[in-house]
């Protein structure tokens, strides 16, 4: 009997499900914009269906083209402003409509500040379940902004690529890895622009091959520039796929001769096909391993890979508010969870009896210890490890915190750390946040034993949707709370 071969059927494509929504992809609709979401997109409704429209502002009537729909909401691109908001502002950046860096440049700055205050209020109410109006409500103060909200970033991370056979470097277009070649960014410190332009010109002249992200070929992947705003020192970091740089001496000399204030030229080697900027190996090609800068009176050493706040002027505003909320008088013991390189810890050490900082990244703790020594602050102790492990160990050694300060990443505090805070019961908790939604979530947990007294938003990143804030919590049985 002859064998019969049964054909295997390939994976079946799922039938396209038509969503029962009042708009369709490709349709142009006219919509009233009633507000902004946390990313700065306009929020409107068509027959009760929510549409997020990039570039639209509250109070406007716009025409927008629908480009994506889901069951409960969709996304549309702005086609025309039919009725403009009085707060609409002409973006001074010529690449604003192509670059994804500044989502709010079209909104007058004072309105940006009001919007960010409202974002914090909305998250506290919606996620945290807190009252933000009336008697007994949490006070959310007006956002502290900048007198000049331009040229504030002290660090640039610029991807390098190739376009039509020429080396290009700039920033990624919104929601893509397509590089927009640019020589000027209005939120970058001028020294960043100058240094990036100098490297691009020198690399082009010396035929140093730009990186091709798709094929994984080429040498120069990124140019990272850091500026000590108070000191004027500049560090240039060349991120390459290989250790050998052809005509390295000529490249270094070109950077030295063209970049004012350059104090450090560093190479980082990243051979991996990855979106991560830095590789594991870093070498100094010329000058110092670090540059220096000040936040207030505190001096910091900044290496190629160390974290340092990108807006030092507003960082000082934020840290002064943190110091105020900590209520430090010189007699308090303070624990700084997520201490990083010790920026907040050393600010607190100025007016505290002793500060204990914990951070999971060992390299950051090494930087923190060096920065404490640099400033002659002997009342700061740093330890590497998870805060929820290290802090209970300190408690077992008899360390009792009067104040605990947390400054977590965007994902918020580890749940175990929140439980540790509730168990240690410091009189005060100061929560520094870069994400209003996780701030509200974590405050809801801490509200089991603490009253959230007030929240101060600070505009660390003008013209973007990001908002930083600092919250003061008092233990329910403290004398100040009773008063």
Positions marked active-site: 434
Task: Return the CA Rg of the chain.
Answer: 26
Given a contact cutoff of 8 angstroms between Cβ atoms, the answer to whether 239 and 277 are in contact is: yes
- Would you mind telling me the total number of residues written for the chain in this entry? 483
Cα separation of the two ends of the chain:
96
- What is the distance between the alpha carbons of residues 263 and 478, in angstroms, rounded to a whole number? 50
Find the helix packing angle between 109-126 and 436-446, rounded to 10°: 40
CA dihedral 421, 424, 427, 428 (to 10 degrees): -20
Q: Is 257 exposed, middle or buried (0-12, 13-18, 19+ CB in 10 A)?
A: exposed
Contacting residues for 387 by C-beta, under 8 A, at least 6 apart: 337, 338, 358, 360, 414, 417, 420
Given a contact cutoff of 8 angstroms between Cβ atoms, the answer to whether 53 and 64 are in contact is: yes
Q: How many CB atoms lie within 10 A of CB 375?
A: 18
- What is the distance between the alpha carbons of residues 346 and 351, in angstroms, rounded to a whole number? 9
Which tokens in the block code for residue 402? 């009067």
């Amino acid at each position: 009997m002859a064998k019969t071969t049964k054909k295997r059927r390939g994976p079946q494509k799922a039938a396209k499900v038509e969503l029962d929504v009042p708009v369709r992809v490709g349709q142009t609709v006219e919509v009233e914009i009633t507000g902004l979401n946390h990313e700065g997109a306009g929020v409107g409704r068509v027959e009760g269906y929510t549409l997020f429209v990039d570039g639209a502002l509250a109070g406007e009537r716009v025409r927008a083209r629908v480009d994506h729909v889901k069951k409960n909401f969709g996304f549309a691109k702005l086609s025309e402003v039919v009725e403009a908001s009085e707060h609409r502002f002409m973006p001074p950046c010529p690449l604003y409509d192509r670059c994804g860096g500044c989502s709010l440049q079209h909104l007058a700055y004072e309105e940006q500040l009001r919007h960010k205050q409202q974002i914090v209020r909305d998250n506290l109410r919606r996620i945290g379940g807190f009252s933000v109006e009336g008697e007994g409500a949490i006070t959310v103060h007006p956002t502290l902004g900048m007198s000049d909200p331009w040229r504030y970033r002290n660090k640039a991370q610029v991807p390098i690529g190739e376009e039509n056979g020429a080396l290009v470097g700039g920033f990624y277009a919104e929601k893509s890895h397509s590089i927009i070649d640019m020589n000027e960014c209005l939120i970058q410190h001028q020294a960043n622009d100058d240094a990036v332009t100098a490297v691009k010109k020198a690399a082009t002249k010396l035929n140093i091959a730009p990186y091709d992200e798709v094929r994984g070929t080429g040498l120069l992947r990124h140019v990272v520039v850091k500026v000590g705003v108070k000191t004027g020192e500049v560090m240039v970091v060349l991120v390459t796929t290989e250790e050998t740089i052809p005509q390295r001496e000529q490249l270094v000399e070109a950077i030295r001769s063209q970049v004012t204030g350059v104090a450090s030229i560093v190479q980082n080697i990243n051979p991996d096909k990855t979106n991560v900027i830095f590789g594991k190996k870093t070498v100094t090609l010329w000058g110092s391993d670090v540059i220096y800068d000040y936040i207030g009176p505190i001096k910091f050493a900044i290496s190629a890979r160390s974290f340092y706040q990108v807006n030092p002027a507003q960082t000082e505003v934020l840290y002064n508010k943190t110091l105020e909320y900590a209520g430090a008088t010189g007699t308090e013991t303070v624990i700084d969870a997520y201490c990083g390189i010790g920026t907040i810890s050393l600010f607190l050490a100025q007016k505290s009896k002793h500060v204990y900082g914990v951070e999971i990244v060992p390299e950051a703790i090494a930087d923190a210890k060096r920065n404490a020594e640099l400033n002659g602050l002997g009342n700061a102790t740093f330890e590497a490890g998870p805060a929820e492990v290290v802090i209970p160990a300190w408690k077992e050694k008899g360390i009792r915190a009067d104040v605990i300060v947390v400054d977590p990443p965007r994902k918020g505090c580890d749940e175990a750390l929140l439980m540790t805070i509730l168990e240690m019961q410091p009189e005060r908790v100061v929560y520094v946040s870069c994400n209003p939604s996780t701030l509200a979530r974590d405050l809801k947990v801490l509200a089991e034993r603490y009253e959230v007294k007030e929240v101060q938003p600070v505009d660390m990143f003008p013209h973007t949707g990001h908002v930083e804030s600092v919250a003061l919590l008092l233990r329910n049985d403290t004398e100040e709370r009773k008063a």
